[in-house]
Structure 1
Amino acid sequence: MVSLSKLPHEPPSSPGQNVSVPQPAVSPPQAADDIEMPLPSSPQTFFLGSLLTLAVLAAVHAASSIILPVVLAFVLQLILQPAVHLLDRIGLPRAIGALLAILVVVGALVGFVAALSLPAATWAEKLPEGLPRLETHLVVLKRPIEALQKVIQQAEHVADAPDRKGAIVSVRRDLGLTGALFAGTRAVIDGLFTTVLVLYFLLVAGDIFLRRIVEVLPNFRDKRQAVDISQQVEADISAYLLTITAMNAAVGIATAVAMYFCGLGDPLLWGAAAFLLNYVPILGPLLGTVMFLLAGMLSFDSLWWALLPPALYFGIHLVEGETLTPLLLARRFTLNPVLVILSLVFWFWMWGVPGAILAVPMLAILKIVSDRVRPLKALGHILEG
Structure 2
Amino acid sequence: MPRVSTPPPEPLDPSASGITSGIPRGLLILVGTAAGFITLLGIRAMNDVIASTFLALILVIAVQPVRDWAIARGLPGWIGSVGAAIAVYAILLGLAFALLLSGAKFATLLADYQPQFNDVIHEVNSWLLSLGVGEDQIKAITSSFDPGQLVDIVVSLLGGLAGVLSSMFFLIVLIFFMIIDAANFPAKLAQIPGQRSTVMQAAHSFAQGTRSYLVVSTVFGAIVAVFDIGLLYVLGIPDPLLWGLLAFITNYIPNVGFIIGLVPPAVIGLLDGGVGTALAVIIGYSVLNAIIQSVIQPRVVGQSVGLSGTVTFLSLIVWAGVLGGLGALLAVPLTLLVKALLIDVDEQSRWLAPLLSGEPAQPKQDPPPTAV
Matched residues, number: 333
Are 1:120 and 2:93 an aligned pair? no
Q: 1:287 to 1:110 in 2, by over 3 A?
A: closer
- The Cα offsets for residues 270-292 of structure 1, whole Å up to 9 and x where unpaired, read as 10111122111122223334443
Q: 1:340 to 1:148 in 2, by over 3 A?
A: farther
1:133–1:297 Cα contact (<8 Å) kept: no
Identity %: 22
Q: How far apart are the structure 2 equivalents of 1:350 and 1:52?
A: 15
Give the C-alpha shift of residue 241 in structure 1: 0.9
Match of 2:49 in 1: 66
Match of 1:356 in 2: 328
5 Å-filtered alignment, 1:318-337, equals: 318-337=290-309
Q: How far apart are the structure 2 equivalents of 1:208 and 1:132?
A: 61
Gaps of 5+ in 1: 1-16, 152-179
1:344–1:359 Cα contact (<8 Å) kept: yes
Q: Look up the SS of the partner of 2:330 in the other structure.
A: helix
Q: 1:253 to 1:149 in 2, by over 3 A?
A: closer
Q: How far apart are the structure 2 equivalents of 1:371 and 1:274?
A: 34
- Greater Rg over alpha carbons, structure: 1
Q: How far apart are the structure 1 equivalents of 2:105 and 2:29?
A: 51
Gaps of 5+ in 2: 145-155, 359-372
Are 1:262 and 2:251 an aligned pair? no
Q: Look up the SS of the partner of 1:331 in the other structure.
A: helix
- For normalisation by structure 1, the TM-score amounts to 0.72
- For normalisation by structure 2, the TM-score amounts to 0.74
Q: 1:280 to 1:185 in 2, by over 3 A?
A: closer
Q: 1:185 to 1:305 in 2, by over 3 A?
A: closer
Match of 1:77 in 2: 60
5 Å-filtered alignment, 1:151-170, equals: none
Q: How far apart are the structure 2 equivalents of 1:292 and 1:35?
A: 59
Aligned amino acid, residue 203 of structure 2: S
Q: How far apart are the structure 2 equivalents of 1:185 and 1:323?
A: 27
Are 1:194 and 2:179 an aligned pair? no
Give the C-alpha shift of residue 353 in structure 1: 0.8
2:315–2:331 Cα contact (<8 Å) kept: yes
Q: Look up the SS of the partner of 2:223 in the other structure.
A: helix
Give the C-alpha shift of residue 295 in structure 1: 2.1
Q: Look up the SS of the partner of 1:361 in the other structure.
A: helix
Match of 2:116 in 1: 130
Give the C-alpha shift of residue 201 in structure 1: 1.9
Q: 1:102 to 1:306 in 2, by over 3 A?
A: same
Q: How far apart are the structure 1 equivalents of 2:296 and 2:232?
A: 21
5 Å-filtered alignment, 1:275-354, equals: 275-301=248-274, 303-354=275-326
Q: 1:373 to 1:28 in 2, by over 3 A?
A: same
2:210–2:305 Cα contact (<8 Å) kept: no
Q: Look up the SS of the partner of 1:307 in the other structure.
A: helix
1:79–1:242 Cα contact (<8 Å) kept: no
Q: Look up the SS of the partner of 1:91 in the other structure.
A: coil
Give the C-alpha shift of residue 61 in structure 1: 1.6
Q: 1:29 to 1:274 in 2, by over 3 A?
A: same
Q: How far apart are the structure 2 equivalents of 1:343 and 1:141?
A: 41
Give the C-alpha shift of residue 296 in structure 1: 1.6
Equivalent residue in structure 2 for 1:87, among 54, 63, 70: 70
